[in-house]
C-alpha cells in the first residue's frame, strides 16, 4: 500500500458523517467562537496522530488501543479500554443514524426518526448477512464526503458576511469548552494508524507520510467548514448546515442530492463500526471481559452473531431514551476521548526515549486536558469501566470454580 492509499484510509477513520451536523452543534454551544474549539482540537491532533504513527511503526500489526493498553498497563486496562469502544458504538451508531435521518427529513421530506431507524436496521441486517464495506467502497465513501465538504465550502464562501462573527463569544470560555466537548466526535480515529503499519510498501516512512497527508487534509477541511459555515449561515445556522451552504452555491438541486449522499455516508460508517464492534465483542469474551458465550463466531471468515446481537440489544434503550443528538455525540466523544488518552499514555511507556516519547508526553497532556471538556459525560466511560472490571471479576470466579 502506498502513502496516498494509506492516507485515504486514515482520512476515512477520522472523518465521518458527524461532520454533516457538528458545525451546527458547535456553533450552538459557542457561537462564532466555536472556530477556536476547532482550532484547539486540530492542534491536539498533531501529537496524537504522530504518536499513533510511531506506535504503529514500532509495533506493526498491533491489535489497537486495547492491545497497547494491555502491553503497557495490564489486562484490566485492556478490558476497560475495549469496553469504552464497545460501549461507545451503540451511542455513536444511533447518533450517526439520526444525523442521516435529519438530512433525509430536511432534503427529502421523510420523517427523520423513521429514516434514522431504517438506516440503523439496514446496517444490522447487512452485518447479519455477512456483508462488509470493502476497502475500495470505504475509500469511495470518504472521497464522496471530502467532495461534499469541499463543494459546500467553495460554493458558499462568496456569500460570507463578516457581521456573522459578532458577537464573537456570546457564551464566553464555557461555550468554547462545551463546543470542544461535542467536537471530540470529529477528532478520534487517529489510532487507526497503528493498524496500518504492516501494510505499507515502504514501512515506517509510508505510515509517516500518510499521517502527515491526513493531518493536512483534515486541517483544511475542518478549518474551511467551521469558518465558512459561521461566516455564511451565522451562529444560528440550521441543523443541516451543509445542505444550506450547498443551496446557496448550487441552488435547489443541492437538497435531494445531499439527502441521498447523507444516507450513503451514514450507512457506510455505521456498517463498518458495527462490523468492528461485533469482532471486538468476541475478542473481549475470549479475554474474559464479556461472558465466554459471546466469543462464538469471532474467527476469520465467521460472523460473530452473538456479539452483534448484544450490540443490537444495547442500541434499543439508546433509541428509546436518548433521542437528543447532541447528548449522544457528547457521550460517544467522552468514551472515545478516554480511549485516545489511554493510547497515547501507553505510548509514553512503550516508545523508547527520544522525540517520539516526547511527542507522546505532549499528546497525553493535551488529551487529558481535552478529556476534561467532556464534563459530566465522563460518567459514561466511568460506568463502562466498572462494567468491564465487574465482568473480569465474575469470569475469573467462574473459571476458578470450573478449575476446582
Give the span between the Cα atoms of 94 and 121, in whole angstroms.
10
- Looking at residue 404, its pLDDT comes to 43
- To which residue does cell 457561537 refer? 31
Report yes or no: 280 and 78 within 8 Å, Cβ to Cβ.
no
- To which residue does cell 469496553 refer? 83
* Cα torsion 5, 11, 13, 15: sign: negative
- Looking at residue 402, its pLDDT comes to 53
Give the span between the Cα atoms of 263 and 253, in whole angstroms.
17
Q: At what angle do helices 65-73 and 325-350 cross, to 10 degrees?
A: 50
Give which of 181, 172, 171, 88 is closest to 375, Cα–Cα.
Answer: 181
- Looking at residue 153, its pLDDT comes to 93
Residue 184 backbone class (left: φ over 0; alpha: ψ -120 to 50; beta: rest) = alpha
Q: Of all helices (H) and strands (E), which one includes residue 360?
A: helix 355-372
- Looking at residue 396, its pLDDT comes to 72
Give the span between the Cα atoms of 99 and 150, in whole angstroms.
19
How many CB atoms lie under 10 A from the CB of residue 355?
10
- Looking at residue 297, its pLDDT comes to 79
Q: Which positions of the chain have pLDDT values less than 50?
A: 404
Quote the distance between the C-alpha of residue 11 and its chain's center.
11
Give which of 134, 174, 111, 97 is closest to 12, Cα–Cα.
Answer: 134
pTM to 2 decimal places: 0.87
DSSP calls for 123-190:
HHHHHHTT----HHHHHHHHHHHHHHHHHHHHHHGGG--GGGG-SS-TTHHHHHHHHHHHHGGGS--G
Which residues have CB under 8 Å from 146's CB, separation 6+? 11, 15, 217, 221
Cell numbers describing residue 159: 456569500
Amino acid at each position: 500500500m502506498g502513502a496516498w492509499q494509506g492516507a485515504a484510509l486514515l482520512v476515512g477513520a477520522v472523518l465521518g458523517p458527524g461532520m454533516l451536523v457538528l458545525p451546527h452543534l458547535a456553533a450552538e454551544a459557542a457561537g462564532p467562537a466555536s472556530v477556536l474549539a476547532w482550532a484547539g482540537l486540530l492542534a491536539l491532533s498533531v501529537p496524537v496522530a504522530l504518536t499513533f504513527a510511531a506506535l504503529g511503526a514500532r509495533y506493526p500489526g498491533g491489535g489497537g488501543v486495547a492491545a497497547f493498553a494491555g502491553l503497557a498497563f495490564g489486562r484490566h486496562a485492556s478490558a476497560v479500554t475495549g469496553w469504552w469502544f464497545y460501549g461507545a458504538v451503540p451511542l455513536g451508531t444511533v447518533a450517526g443514524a439520526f444525523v442521516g435521518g435529519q438530512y433525509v427529513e430536511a432534503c427529502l421530506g421523510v420523517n427523520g426518526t423513521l429514516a434514522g431507524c431504517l438506516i440503523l436496521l439496514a446496517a444490522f441486517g447487512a452485518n447479519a448477512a455477512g456483508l462488509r464495506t470493502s476497502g475500495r467502497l470505504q475509500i469511495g465513501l470518504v472521497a464522496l464526503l471530502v467532495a461534499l465538504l469541499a463543494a459546500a465550502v467553495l460554493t458558499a464562501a462568496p456569500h460570507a458576511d463578516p457581521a456573522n462573527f459578532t458577537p464573537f463569544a456570546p457564551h464566553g470560555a464555557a461555550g468554547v469548552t462545551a463546543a470542544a466537548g461535542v467536537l471530540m466526535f470529529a477528532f478520534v480515529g487517529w489510532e487507526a494508524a497503528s493498524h496500518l503499519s504492516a501494510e505499507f510498501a515502504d514501512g515506517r516512512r509510508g505510515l509517516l507520510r500518510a499521517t502527515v497527508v491526513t493531518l493536512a487534509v483534515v486541517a483544511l477541511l475542518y478549518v474551511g467548514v467551521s469558518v465558512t459555515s459561521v461566516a455564511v449561515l451565522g451562529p444560528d445556522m440550521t441543523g443541516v448546515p451543509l445542505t444550506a451552504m450547498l443551496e446557496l452555491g448550487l441552488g435547489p438541486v443541492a437538497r435531494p442530492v445531499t439527502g441521498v449522499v447523507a444516507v450513503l455516508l451514514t450507512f457506510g460508517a455505521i456498517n463498518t463500526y458495527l462490523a468492528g464492534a461485533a469482532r471486538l465483542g468476541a475478542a473481549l469474551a475470549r479475554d474474559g471481559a464479556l461472558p465466554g458465550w459471546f466469543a462464538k463466531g469471532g474467527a476469520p471468515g465467521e460472523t460473530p452473531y452473538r456479539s452483534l446481537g448484544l450490540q443490537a440489544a444495547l442500541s434499543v434503550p439508546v433509541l428509546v431514551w436518548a433521542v437528543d443528538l447532541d447528548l449522544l455525540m457528547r457521550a460517544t466523544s467522552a468514551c472515545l476521548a478516554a480511549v485516545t488518552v489511554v493510547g497515547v499514555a501507553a505510548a509514553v511507556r512503550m516508545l523508547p526515549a527520544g522525540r517520539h516519547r516526547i511527542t507522546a508526553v505532549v499528546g497525553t497532556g493535551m488529551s487529558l486536558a481535552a478529556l476534561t471538556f467532556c464534563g459530566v459525560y465522563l460518567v459514561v466511560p466511568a460506568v463502562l469501566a466498572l462494567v468491564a472490571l465487574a465482568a473480569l471479576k465474575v469470569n475469573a470466579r467462574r473459571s476458578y470454580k470450573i478449575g476446582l
